[in-house]
Amino acid sequence: MLYLFLIFTSLMFFVRMCIPYYVLYANKVLGVNELQWAVLQTVNSITFYCSLLPVGKMVDKIGRKKPLIFSSISGALAMALFLHGNPVGLYAFSVFSAICNVLVFTAYPSLQADLTPKGCRGKLLGFSNFIDCLLGSAALLLGGFLYETVSKMAPFLLLLITMASTAVVTAIFVTEPKVKQS
């Protein structure tokens, strides 16, 4: 559980660092107008909601670790497509980003529950959310600093590197329990 927590808390730091700047980067750097952004977000939402049940079934069938690894790969691919900014690539970004999110938001809490005794789940979730929110505040500040002073692309490049690294680190360090906690 410690490895899982450290890996995905770190990842969420970089995700939160970028969240406010997607639309700014798309508009100011890539030239995406408001209507195009709305269509991209709609593609993202449709993909996300249509994937929820099949991914949930897959996570129960094949386990949690493989979907977590694939979520990081999908997220890294999405970031590369976003930074490239090709109009077709932006639609692919929306799809891969949604797939990344549905995989991680299904597999991560499932594995977290598998690794945590029932009597400790609430405390662990509370602690995880507290740390995530605390680090998220710092991430927003860092993202703004990097976006404005280093490069508009800097926060997104850091997220891309983190996503790719997370896939490797998850494959090496995260293990599914042989017996799930009840």
pLDDT tens-digit map of 118-163: 888 889 889 888 998 899 999 999 999 999 999 999 999 999 999 9
Question: What is the value of pTM for the model shown?
Answer: 0.90
What secondary structure, in 3-state letters, does 126-168 show?
HHHHHHHHHHHHHHHHHHHHHHHHHCCCHHHHHHHHHHHHHHH
Mean pLDDT is lowest, of 2-11, 64-73, 81-90, for: 2-11
Please tell me the total count of domains within the chain.
Answer: 1
**Residue 180: predicted pLDDT:** 64
Angle at 129 between CA 69 and CA 79, to 5 degrees: 40
149 occurs within a structural domain: yes
34 occurs within a structural domain: yes
Average pLDDT for 49-65: 96
Average pLDDT for 43-50: 98
Note down the domain range covering 47: 2-173
181 occurs within a structural domain: no
51 occurs within a structural domain: yes
Average pLDDT for 53-77: 96
